[in-house]
Amino acid sequence: MNPNQNESPFNRVARDEPRRGLSTWLIGRPLPTADAPHQTIGKAVGLAVFASDALSSTAYATQEILVILAIAGTGAFGYAFPISIAIVALMAIVAISYEQTIHAYPDGGGAYIVARDNLGELPAQVAGSALLTDYILTVAVSISSGVAQIVSAFPEIKDYRILIGVVLVVFTMLINLRGVRESGSIFAIPSYFFLAMMVLMLVVGFFRFITGSLGAVIDPPHLEALGPLVAVTPFLILHAFSSGTSALTGIEAISNGVTAFKEPRSRNAGITLIWMAFILATLFLGITFLSTQIQAIPSEEETVISQLARTVYDSRGILYLMTITATTVILVMAANTAFAGFPRLSAMLGADGFMPRQYAFRGSRLVYSNGIVSLAIFASILIVIFKASVTALIPLYAIGVFLSFTLSQSGMARRWYKMGQLEQGEEVKERGSTLHYDHLWKLKMVVNGFGALLTFLVMIVFAYTKFADGAWVVLIVIPFLVFIFSAIHRHYRGLAKSLSLDDFGAPPMTPRHRVILPISGVHRGTLAALRYARALSDDVTAVHVSIDPMETQKLDDKWDIWGEGVRLVMLDSPYRLLLEPLIDYIEEVASKRQPNETITVVVPQFVPKHWYHNLLHMQTAFLLRAALIFKPGIVITDVPYQVE
């Protein structure tokens, strides 16, 4: 069938395509809106897109636990595995909560949507600002960590680490601008390569442990305790627990990006989340257990993963190098999770009026381009400010994500309570979901409430222990972002109220239309503007600012011939000012206008053949429009005249 058969003079399809240029070469050809359903991803690619941040945390989460326990000496390392079991239990609670969130809110949004619908606007803004902050830090930390691995292998490029970090951010940005499906396909290979190398290392490690041939790490690095040795206390255990919960970072990303999955998207996203949580828990427990068995030492000189790999493989051979390479790549790739989550969350905030509306619009490749570019800019600024130092950036990390965990689970607990108050078969539609009675509401409410309490305690411990190291910055940034969101929201609400047609009544008639025609000379462009002005109204006044009496007399003589009887007002300007006398005259006329009277300023503007010729002429039309745009009752209209 001819695609144009359904068109009519009042319903047409634009056939123009975006021009192809540098952007086409960098990010690919523009995609039509109809391709959106085909740009979604399946579970396998979704795991690579949204799990890289969470999976990469296994490279350092165990080490973070051991670093804290080292304060009590190597004898305290025996607590690492029980602590990791407790962390996995919390991980399970958080994963179950987000899996429920995915099915309850199939349009995505995660903690922001849950808080918005169940806790109110302010908690939603806090959740949104916390997650956005965490996404930015994820990019900065992961890229800086990857750069540190590269610099360790090639020390001679140490002075270029900031430049390398920014280049990697830009590279990741360009890949994500190409679209979710394409970027997912690109990043799937290194993600599964890392997963394969970790599984292989654990299988070999456990085999050697069971057969009694694993042994201890040879020539371990020197133990670098954070201070004088202390006794093992409940607070030390809680501190180690909170540091190890960095393994949970990124687990919320799938709930924010449900719309990226193929239909049935809630089911596919939920299954992917369960896969990710299971893989993450298995790797984390396995790495922690084997690390304590080989008596690995947390150190800046050599990572725990490196010590484990060379002990398991009993050398620094090809398998060791492949493991370290995979770890380095996944650390850099962890930024991709943020590039998948940040644009979608900012789009939701933009659609709700808490961020500029531009963030809610898709770009040429059907991705939220403004969010992707903004994330790259913010992360690059952090890398430059903190000189690509992981040590300087890591204290800022994780507080935001645990704040969002707390709000998300609190919101879900509140949702279960509301559902428990409904009658059997009753349904209540909310903004983002539909509530119906659930006979397990009490159990689910208790589980989410307990999870919210745990994540809140972890956040408090993080804030307390990392405050002096830089966590205070996040505790300032999040309230500042909430203030910005509120200000933007007030602007949009005020604008909507001003533009609303409610109680507006019939549009007022305009009984009188006055036109003012500023002229600098009498030429073809002036006459074109004069004809347009007379088509608008019979009440037309031409205005000329007089600087040179002789030129003014010549203009007056020409106007007598070509002015078609329209009155001409001469404004003498003894100080040779052009714009100010004209604006004063227009404002004086406007101050005396009648009710419902409109004043239109018609500005003749000749357009040179070449754009650079504009530099040779005064941009009166632009300056006049800028000066009068905020004046009520005044309309500024340009009448261009193209010069051949």
Q: In the prediction, which pLDDT does 32 show? A: 61
Q: What CATH number has the domain spanning 38-491?
A: 1.20.1740.10
CA dihedral 128, 132, 138, 140 (to 10 degrees): -160
Which tops the pLDDT comparison, 480 or 97? 480
Average pLDDT in the 550-569 region?
90
Does pLDDT of 284 surpass 80? yes
Of 213-227, 381-395, 534-548, 615-629, which range is least confident? Answer: 615-629
**Residue position matching structure tokens 């996040």:** 474
Q: In the prediction, which pLDDT does 1 show? A: 43
Does pLDDT of 207 surpass 90? yes
Of 250-264, 271-285, 444-458, 544-558, which range is least confident? Answer: 250-264
Does pLDDT of 511 surpass 70? no
Please name the residues in contact with 140: beta carbons below 8 A apart, sequence gap of 6 or more. Answer: 379, 382, 383, 386, 393
Does pLDDT of 7 surpass 60? no
* High-pLDDT (> 90) share of the chain, %: 26
Of 12-26, 54-68, 214-228, 391-405, which range is least confident? Answer: 12-26
Q: In the prediction, which pLDDT does 336 show? A: 80
Q: In the prediction, which pLDDT does 509 show? A: 59
Average pLDDT in the 121-139 region?
90
In angstroms, the CA 411 to CA 433 distance is: 13
Q: What pTM value is reported for the model?
A: 0.75
In angstroms, the CA 400 to CA 379 distance is: 15
- What stretch(es) of the chain map to CATH 3.40.50.620? 513-642
DSSP string across 296-329: ----SSS-HHHHHHHHHTTSSSHHHHHHHHHHHH
Q: In the prediction, which pLDDT does 531 show? A: 93
Q: In the prediction, which pLDDT does 13 show? A: 55
Helix (H) or strand (E) holding 104: helix 80-104
- What stretch(es) of the chain map to CATH 1.20.1740.10? 38-491
Give the mean pLDDT of the chain. Answer: 83
The superfamily CATH assigns to domain 513-642 is HUPs (3.40.50.620)
Does pLDDT of 4 surpass 70? no
Does pLDDT of 191 surpass 90? no
Q: pLDDT (tens digit, 9 = 90+) per residue, 318-354?
A: 998 899 888 888 877 788 888 888 988 899 899 889 9
In angstroms, the CA 247 to CA 191 distance is: 17
Distances in whole angstroms, Cα of residue 623 to Cα of each of 162, 474, 570, 618, 629: 42, 42, 20, 9, 10
pLDDT confidence of 410, banded at 50, 70, 90? Answer: very high
Is residue 81 within 8 Å of 242, Cβ to Cβ? Answer: no
Is residue 344 within 8 Å of 257, Cβ to Cβ? Answer: yes
Is residue 582 within 8 Å of 624, Cβ to Cβ? Answer: yes
Token representation of residue 240: 């180690």
Q: Which residues pair with 531 in a beta bridge?
A: none
Average pLDDT in the 158-181 region?
85
C-alpha 93: how far from chain center: 26
Distances in whole angstroms, Cα of residue 332 to Cα of each of 58, 143, 172, 194: 14, 5, 9, 12
Does pLDDT of 630 surpass 80? no
**Residue position matching structure tokens 């790490």:** 217
Q: pLDDT (tens digit, 9 = 90+) per residue, 582-613?
A: 888 888 888 888 777 888 999 887 777 777 66
Q: In the prediction, which pLDDT does 614 show? A: 63
Q: In the prediction, which pLDDT does 505 show? A: 63
